[in-house]
Structure formats: structure tokens, C-alpha cells
Amino acid sequence: MESAPRNGPLDPWFDVHSWGVRSMMVLGKLLGRQPATGRPGASGIDGIPLGGGLFSVKVADPQARPFSGAEIEVLDRLGRTLAHGEADTYGFFAATLPGGEHRFIVHAGGYQRRVIPFEVQAGRHTTLDTVTLRPDEEMALPEQGEWLIDQDHSSIRFVARHIGLSRVHGQFAGFHGRIKVGKRMEDSEVEVTMDAASITTGNTQRDAHLRSPDFLDVARYPRLHFVSSQFGYLRGDHWVIKGSLTIRGVTGTALLDTRYLGLQEWNGSRTAICASTELHREDYTLNYRQLLGKGINVIGSTIKIELDVQAIRQ
């Protein structure tokens, strides 16, 4: 059943649907604002423009749980964006909108996109019934078996802070790996080996330093290695892959925040994911320290790793 819009007077303490709007009311009271008592058509809340109204909605998953992080956009009749953002921790979204006919659009990875028309009346509060997102049935999981990582269409990148200001971007140009898809996706395995000497940041002097004993020490430790131990399903296209990462002979736990991107046919059956994690380089004895006068590391201790992986069915 489609969500039906409901309109009611603007009341600073309307029902529990409008958690986000209630928060605005609390803030307004803390700032000493009082509800307006103006002429017909004026907003019932100080700060809401003349001719405007409030809109709120709750987004839920198929188990009726609040869907925090769902991406939301509100368009007018001409397709112009009036509001956009994400559902909050409780699945709520609220916005001040001009009066008129609009469209509410909500989507999240692995779920069907929902588009719902509604109308805002000036000086009133419009709510939709809870909008439930349904799984996207076209987002099929890969078949059981062996999938080899296609290096030509994959990348392993990293980002580090330099002197606490700009970011330095780099990648490992040489790597290989495989994904072994289990009968259940949760029983799958992934293994990736990276050539330490293939590290590149676009600066010859810096790359030589990163290969030296101060950092990767590629002469003694020519490879970085990751092997998974667990695939955990969160929701939609969102998974977490837990595994062991070995750098300079030191093995630590890594958690990959992973998005499944689906399947395509192109020179064979292909599947893809994108993933990211953060590492503390001291955990892997990458202890090089050069400090500025204020005690700031020239190279930050936290390294962000980003992966785009495409694999081919064998």
C-alpha cells in the first residue's frame, strides 16, 4: 500500500512521528522563539517562511526497523531539488518545504527505489505513513565457485595525511587474488596478495622512501597479504568482511566495510565490490616518525585503504 500524505496544523508538540521536527521545536524554545500567531496562511512556527509547511516521514526496513542512512530527496513538479539528506538514527527525515505538489524519493543500496507524490499546504504539517524499503530482487548474488580478481579493472588505493593538512593518495599497482563463493555467501572466502614494491604515489623520491626500511622494507617483506575469515551480512548491499592483513611480517585484524555492486556479463560473468578500512600504521611496525615543531607527524598514523574489485567467474 502506498503511503498517504496527512496534513495537520503546525503544533510544536505534534505526535511522535516527527522526531526531527520536534528537535527543531526544542531548539527553537531554547533560543527563546515562540510559535507565531499570525494571519491565515502564515506559518504556525516562528522561522518557517510564509507559504511554507513542514514535511516529515519515517523510513523502515522489511523487518519494520528504522532505516537510518537511507538517501532521501524531495523534488518539486519541475524536478528541482527542494531538500535532500539521509534518514536519521530513528529512520526519520524532516524538512521545511514550499506549499505545492512534490515527490518524495528514497533509496538505499540493495533496495528498490520508492517515489511517492504528496502535497504540502502552507502553515500545516504533512506526514507520510511509514515508508518501507523492499529488497531489490534484481541484485542477485554471485554463483558458488571460483572468481579471479581482474587486475585491469580493479584497484587497491590508500590515503594518508601529510603534516596534518593535505592528503597523499597512492596505490599498489601489482596484486592478484581470488574470491571463493560458498554455497551460502557467509561461507565465502577472499584472498589478495599485493606486491610491496609496486607502491606508487606519483612521486619518485617519496615512493623510494615508502619502499625503504622506514616503511614497507620491500627487500625483506616483498608482499602484503590479506585473507578473510568471515563474511557478515548487514543489510541490502552492505557486508562486512573480517580477515587477517599481514604487513612487514606482522599480522593484524582488518574489517572491510563492503558494498556489493552486482553482476554483469562482459567477456565472461563478472561481479564487483567496493570496500574500505582504516589501519594504524604503528600496529604493523611502520613506526617512522618525523615531527614538525608542534609535535605533528609529517605522515599521519591512520591510513585509509580503498578497494574497487571486479572478479571473473572461472
* Mean pLDDT calculated for residue range 163-182: 89
| pLDDT averaged over every residue in the chain | 84
Whether this prediction's pTM lies above 0.85 is answered by no
Residue 140 counted as domain residue? no
- HEC string of 175-213 equals EEEEEEECCCHHHCEEEEEEEHHHEECCCHHHHHHHHCC
Could you tell me if 303 and 156 are in contact, meaning their C-beta atoms sit under 8 angstroms apart? no
Domain extent for 77: 6-132
Q: Give dist(CA 58, CA 66) in Å, integer.
A: 8
- pLDDT at site 9: 53
* pLDDT digits 0-9 by tens, 142-169: 999 999 999 999 999 999 876 556 788 9
Per-residue pLDDT at 119 exceeds 80: yes
Per-residue pLDDT at 124 exceeds 50: yes
- pLDDT at site 50: 86
- pLDDT at site 281: 74
- pLDDT at site 166: 74
Does 124 share its domain with 154? no
Of 106, 118, 87, give the one whose Cα is nearest residue 3: 118
**Residue bearing the bigger pLDDT, 20 or 101:** 101
Per-residue pLDDT at 114 exceeds 70: yes
* Mean pLDDT calculated for residue range 50-72: 95
Does 166 share its domain with 255? yes
* Mean pLDDT calculated for residue range 257-285: 90
Domain boundary among 81, 97, 132: 132
Does 121 share its domain with 151? no
**Residue bearing the bigger pLDDT, 203 or 283:** 203
- pLDDT at site 82: 97
Does 160 share its domain with 253? yes
- pLDDT at site 259: 96
Does 93 share its domain with 215? no
- pLDDT at site 38: 30
In this structure, what DSSP letter does residue 297 have?
Answer: B
